[in-house]
Structure 1
Amino acid sequence: MILLFAVIATAVLMLVCGFEMFLVLGVPAIMAKQFFYGSLPDPVIVQKVVGGINHSTLLAIPFFILAAELMGDGQIARRLTGLVQSLVGHRKGGIGYTVIGGSMAFGSVSGSAPATVAAMGRMVYPEMRAAGFREKFSLGLVASSAETALLIPPSITLIIYGWMTGASVARLFVAGIAAGLVLGLVFAILVAVEARRSGVSAGPQTSWSERFAAIRHAGWALGMPLIILGGIYTGFFTPTEAAAASVVYAIFVESVVFRSLTFRRLFEITERAAISTAIIFILLALGGLLSYFITLAQVPNQILAFLAAVDAGPIIFLLVVNVAFLIAGMFIDPNSALLILVPPLYPVATAFGIDPIHFGMIVTLNISVGMITPPFGLDLFVASSTLGKPVMTIISGIWPFVIANLVALAVITYVPPISTFLPNLVFG
């Protein structure tokens, strides 16, 4: 337990001093080796850093990041959003439902919340304001609805969780559909209340012929989620193979069919995706090193012993998990929270008999909430940059969605079948 306190104290001090996140993960790990496990040979550090990310499952991450960049920069995202708008845009507050549905559709082919904020914000924010939604609500919805991208497969967060715990990524993807729908439903209720309160007008009525035309217009775009999800669920693709196929498909559709992708743009998009991938993998490598020393110190067993001593059961444990992730999400990026908290908490969850897939949904939704909680929620800054609005303006409109998230989190935490029913139905 002394090691745990030392690691936490060092990490907090470095955060307060403004150190980069990879140092916040790496320095405490190296200190743990030097002061608590000095007998270990120095090459262990290199082995754990390099070997920790030498896993085929993680290959899906750079492919999905590249696919997200390709689709957000091209026509696929726009056509998927246009299809959603043709189906629900005619209702009162329909553009708000379009934001939610469009974010879920884009998330189903990207797996990235920041990419979803950037892509959706440019397309739908002006329409929300024109329809009569208040500025703060519009900004809050754009930033918050992107969270569904972390739950709706293919989710990079679920891939990392599966890599860390050994849980089936395919099962996590199926469970993410149900969890994402719960979160989307809660947001839709907020949109309905706001539309009634602000007197938002309904969109133009769409005929069935226009809807069929929108489906045809989005036909090639719809092929992307069919390839990714259909290939994984039928067993034709592994998640990594599906990620690679999604990149090939996106390049083909954007360059040959839609003719929106030039070689120069492809180079620029690939460069952006490579930088994003490098950032994530540096965090994964150093987070894996820290996890090694946390496990070596038997921190999970000490947490379990403490919970047993205070007679805390799984209900209290899950409450502690949620509070810990919510606090961490306010100050550090989601992947770092995942890398720091899952190693000590996951073994305790399994000891309590909590299903790994269910625990994955709880963790991922907590990570999603962290994307929009001040002061350092990543999606807040992406929305600010994309829409040219002050961060404080976005924060002032985010609180109803934080409360909605907490409602969805409570439901998913304490109703396990929401997370486990579909995976058991699909895979047995």
Structure 2
Amino acid sequence: MTATLDPIAAPLSFNAESEAPHRGSKLLKPIEMISAALLVVVILLLLAGVISRYVFSLPIVWVDEAASISFLWLAMLGSAIAFDRNEHLRLTLFLNKMPPRLQRFVDAFAPLCAVAFLLALVMPSLEYAMDEWYITTPTLNIPNAFRAAAIPFGIILMLGIVLRYTFKVADRRQIILAALVIAAITLALWYFSPSLVRAGNVKLALFLVVFVAVGLAAGVPIAFCFGLGTLSYLAFGTNVPTIVMVGRMDEGMSGIILLSVPIFVLLGCVLDATGMGKAIVDFLASLLGHVKAGMSYVLLGSLFIVSGISGSKVSDMATVAPALFPEMKRRGHSPREMIALLATGAAMADTVPPSIVLIVLGAAAGVSIAGLFTSGIVIAAVLLAALVGLARWKSRHEDMHGVRRATMGVIGRAMVIAAPALVLPFIIRSTVAGGVATATEVSTIAVLYAMFIGIILYGGISWKTFYGMLVETASLTGAILLILGTALAMAWAITQAGVAQNIASFMTGLPGGWITFMALTIVVFLVLGCILEGLPAIVLMAPLMFPIAKNLGINDIHYSMVVVTAMNIGLMTPPIGIGFYLACRIGDVSPDEAIGAIWPYLIALMVGLVVIAYVPWLSTAFL
């Protein structure tokens, strides 16, 4: 599984010659080993907690605390690894369209923006960690500085990595010019700081809109766009000490529910490595492959089921496409239609548990994970029905020559092979939705089950492969959590400035009440889904939008389903939606060729979204 979060995730390359992803330097091998060990420690701690609670009825009270300490270190070291491996998420749409001369400048400017942010945080993060020395953890009775020290350590490590690669790859003259531009901007902000402090909320447009937008356009990683905008606002537009930024980042990266994120990412890696996903695809193909539009049904059904195991759209598409595309081509499906179905099918399946997006949304907005998992299945089924109907109509002229119904023996063998894999998504969904265990506990059990089944029945996993999956998971986890931390800090700054209250007053006063607000929500998250990808958009906007929805009487679960669905449609909408380009890359089809075919499928999803938005019963009936 590639460790790119449905990316925007073009690699953080610093010039045109370094577009290929860097797979990690030898200097960081010890950090990779420590990160892999930390991930194993987190899994073992959580497993020990599950066994002690459910088998022996003797909860180990310090497990969550120890896991939380390990988790923050994993996140910060993973962020450094993500820099070293060029896997931080960023937007490259505008960068790739710049003239070569400007692009060379921006290639130096983008990493130096990250350097400026990290340099500015070194002292506040050290001060924050030292302050935490006087706070004792509740159960382990150790200074909280042992946990908080991960933040300055990770920041200094990232700073060294970015500086090393900047001077190694970028043009020296462009580095000097970019450094002078950043220094001039900093001096200007410092000079006008007294005026900016008195400027009211107008300054938010400069720091949190203009700065962030310029950073995104220049290809600065998303986490650093949010962080640099927020830190500049605090440093030059307020009297708030910058140490507050570190505290908000710590809060955003330390939610106990987020412990399930790296474990579900690892589960997706296991799914790919063992071939469990392919077994499910083969079973559905034997069952449905003989009917018209059968392979389209198999593709959509596979995404629906496999998503319940991996929790990642990247893993879903990478598992399903290679197994089905050759036969679909033979039956007359054009590559552009297959890409359109793959992209929109992945968007449909993102509410199927154990969706990482739902887990993060639950943590950011304080919404029940069990409720989100229960409702997510129904919502995905509504979208699935819309796509199935369109796929059937488009396949009315499909060439079925030579297609034969699979014999019962073939179906039976495929079912026996797929059965252990098919059990896993039902375990995950039923256990969390039924309140039997938390998403974090279930993720631990699911990984161990998948590894055991994979080793016994699906060909096994070598130690080298397993170690690579651990490092890959640490890298992706670090990239995700750094975004969450900086986005939460930015959302906090917006709220403290009183903008949230102004937005709430404006939206509450709109004619049409909740109906108008829901329409506005759809537009906002369609746009944000195109530009920012799911997790940053959710963490940034959830603290602002959910209180308004609640005041208008909209159920939290219902609103969550609308937000996630709109965001996923935006993610797959060209010409900006980065998920669309990822699907093209996986299917080896030119975006220019596929762009015309995807619109009918997007319209089908939009119809489904409107139904979901204005029929709350669909989201709440089974809670």
User: Structures share a fold, TM > 0.5?
Assistant: yes
Quote the residue 1:28 is aligned against. 229
Quote the residue 1:185 is aligned against. 385
Quote the residue 1:81 is aligned against. 281
Match of 1:106, SS state, is helix
Cα offsets for 1:25-60 (capped at 9, x unmatched): 11221123124431x233211111112221110011
Q: Which amino acid aligns with 2:211?
A: T
Quote the residue 1:129 is aligned against. 329
Cα offsets for 1:227-284 (capped at 9, x unmatched): 3123223333210111111111121111232223111111222222222111111101
Cα offsets for 1:134-190 (capped at 9, x unmatched): 221111112221123311111101001100111100100000000100111111011
Q: Is the 8 A contact 2:329 2:335 kept in 1?
A: yes
Q: Which amino acid aligns with 1:88?
A: L
- Identify the structure with bigger relative contact order (alpha carbons < 8 Å, sequence gap 6+): 1
Alpha-carbon distance, 1:406 to partner: 0.9
Alpha-carbon distance, 1:317 to partner: 0.9
Of 196, 204, 210, 1:9 maps to 210
Quote the residue 1:236 is aligned against. 436
Q: Which runs of 5+ in 1 are unaligned?
A: 424-428
- C-alpha distance in structure 2 between counterparts of 1:73 and 1:28, whole Å: 40
Q: Is the 8 A contact 1:91 1:202 kept in 2?
A: no
Quick check: 1:47 aligned with 2:247? Answer: yes
Quote the residue 2:359 is aligned against. 159
Q: Which amino acid aligns with 1:255?
A: I
- C-alpha distance in structure 2 between counterparts of 1:332 and 1:314, whole Å: 25
> Which 4+ runs in 1 deviate beyond 6 A?
none
Quote the residue 1:426 is aligned against. none
Of 260, 280, 292, 1:92 maps to 292
Alpha-carbon distance, 1:16 to partner: 2.6
Quote the residue 2:536 is aligned against. 336
Quick check: 1:211 aligned with 2:382? Answer: no
Match of 2:622, SS state, is helix
Alpha-carbon distance, 1:209 to partner: 4.6
Quick check: 1:249 aligned with 2:432? Answer: no
Quote the residue 1:144 is aligned against. 344
Q: Is the 8 A contact 1:132 1:201 kept in 2?
A: no
Quick check: 1:19 aligned with 2:186? Answer: no
Alpha-carbon distance, 1:4 to partner: 4.8
Alpha-carbon distance, 1:203 to partner: 4.4
- C-alpha distance in structure 2 between counterparts of 1:310 and 1:146, whole Å: 34
Quote the residue 1:224 is aligned against. 424
The verdict on how the C-alpha distance between 1:200 and 1:139 changes in structure 2, with shifts beyond 3 A counting, is: farther
Q: Is the 8 A contact 2:351 2:564 kept in 1?
A: yes
The verdict on how the C-alpha distance between 1:93 and 1:311 changes in structure 2, with shifts beyond 3 A counting, is: closer
Q: How many residue pairs are counted as aligned between the two chains?
A: 422
Identity %: 27
Q: Is the 8 A contact 1:92 1:201 kept in 2?
A: no
Q: Which amino acid aligns with 1:165?
A: A
Alpha-carbon distance, 1:223 to partner: 2.6
Q: Which amino acid aligns with 1:13?
A: V
Quick check: 1:110 aligned with 2:310? Answer: yes
- C-alpha distance in structure 1 between counterparts of 2:310 and 2:204, whole Å: 36
- C-alpha distance in structure 2 between counterparts of 1:308 and 1:230, whole Å: 37
Alpha-carbon distance, 1:297 to partner: 2.0
Q: Is the 8 A contact 2:336 2:589 kept in 1?
A: no
Q: Which amino acid aligns with 1:381?
A: Y
- C-alpha distance in structure 2 between counterparts of 1:364 and 1:313, whole Å: 21
- C-alpha distance in structure 1 between counterparts of 2:550 and 2:401, whole Å: 49
The verdict on how the C-alpha distance between 1:187 and 1:265 changes in structure 2, with shifts beyond 3 A counting, is: same
Quote the residue 2:32 is aligned against. none
- C-alpha distance in structure 2 between counterparts of 1:308 and 1:67, whole Å: 42
- C-alpha distance in structure 1 between counterparts of 2:510 and 2:387, whole Å: 37
Q: Which amino acid aligns with 2:226?
A: L
- C-alpha distance in structure 1 between counterparts of 2:344 and 2:402, whole Å: 22
The verdict on how the C-alpha distance between 1:189 and 1:383 changes in structure 2, with shifts beyond 3 A counting, is: same
Q: Is the 8 A contact 1:10 1:28 kept in 2?
A: yes
